[in-house]
């Protein structure tokens, strides 16, 4: 529970703590940041959720931060059948694990969030996940099925997600 509070504190202060005047996604103190942006999520036929977000890293301390529209990869430093580090990889062709996080809006006004992943390693991977959703305080846990080697996997949720955090990526 303490770790969950630390994540919230981290997200609240990240744009202040690491606010380097960096016009592009460059390496800053070992982290690669996304540029500040406005997140817009479809809630239902008539409502949208919008939030301005500052510089947030793609990966920090092994945790992977995903927002609608993200598509990038991860490099996994695997040693002795264990993942030692997780790093952001912009080039999907060079990534051990690719991620794409989208929101699909249907004609009836409903929507779903979809996380597409492709495991390019020879290992089955387990991943834990946390999310924040519009209109609710706190962080909710969610499940991710094991990622089999060499295949794509899809997870979906029938509600908007402000932020999805993948963590504790490990070999099964």
Where do the domains of the chain lie?
Answer: 2-171
Element (H, E) at 4: helix 2-17
- Smallest CA-to-CA distance from 159 within 98, 69, 72, 68 is with 68
- Widest CA span of the chain, in angstroms? 52
Predicted pLDDT of residue 57: 96
Q: Is the dihedral of CA 83, 145, 128, 94 positive or negative?
A: positive
> How confident is the model at residue 135, as a pLDDT?
86
pLDDT score, position 78: 94
Tokens matching residue 14: 């990240």
Q: Print pLDDT tens along the chain (172 aa).
A: 444 444 443 444 344 344 444 444 445 557 899 999 999 999 988 899 999 999 999 999 999 999 999 999 999 999 999 999 999 999 999 999 999 999 999 988 889 999 999 999 999 999 999 999 998 889 999 999 999 999 999 999 999 999 999 999 999 9
Question: How many residues appear in the chain?
Answer: 172
CB atoms within 10 A of CB 107: 5
Q: Which of 117, 140, 114, 119 is nearest to 129 (CA)?
A: 140
What is the three-class DSSP state of 86?
Answer: strand
The model's pTM is 0.83
Spatial contact of 12 and 20, defined as CB atoms under 8 Å apart: no
What does the DSSP 8-state code read for residue 121? Answer: S
Residues 145 and 153: beta-carbon distance below 8 Å:
yes
Separation between Cα atoms, residue 3 and residue 60, nearest integer Å: 14
From residue 150, alpha-carbon distances to 18, 89, 115, 159 in Å are: 36, 18, 17, 29
């Amino acid at each position: 529970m303490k770790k969950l509070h630390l994540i919230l504190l981290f997200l609240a202060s990240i744009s202040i703590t690491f606010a380097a005047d960096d016009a592009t996604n460059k390496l800053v103190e070992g982290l690669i940041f996304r540029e500040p942006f406005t997140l817009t999520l479809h809630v239902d036929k008539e409502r949208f959720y919008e939030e301005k977000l500052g510089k947030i890293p793609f990966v920090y301390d092994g945790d992977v931060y995903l927002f609608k529209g993200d598509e990038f990869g991860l490099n996994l430093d695997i040693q002795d059948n264990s993942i030692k580090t997780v790093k952001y990889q912009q080039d999907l062709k060079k990534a051990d694990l690719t991620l794409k996080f989208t929101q699909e809006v249907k004609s009836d006004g409903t929507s779903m969030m979809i996380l597409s992943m492709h495991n390019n390693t020879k290992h089955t991977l387990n991943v834990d996940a946390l999310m924040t959703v519009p209109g609710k305080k706190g962080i909710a846990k969610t499940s991710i099925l094991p990622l089999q080697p060499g295949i794509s996997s899809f997870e979906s949720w029938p509600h908007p997600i402000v932020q999805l955090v993948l963590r504790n990526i490990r070999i099964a």
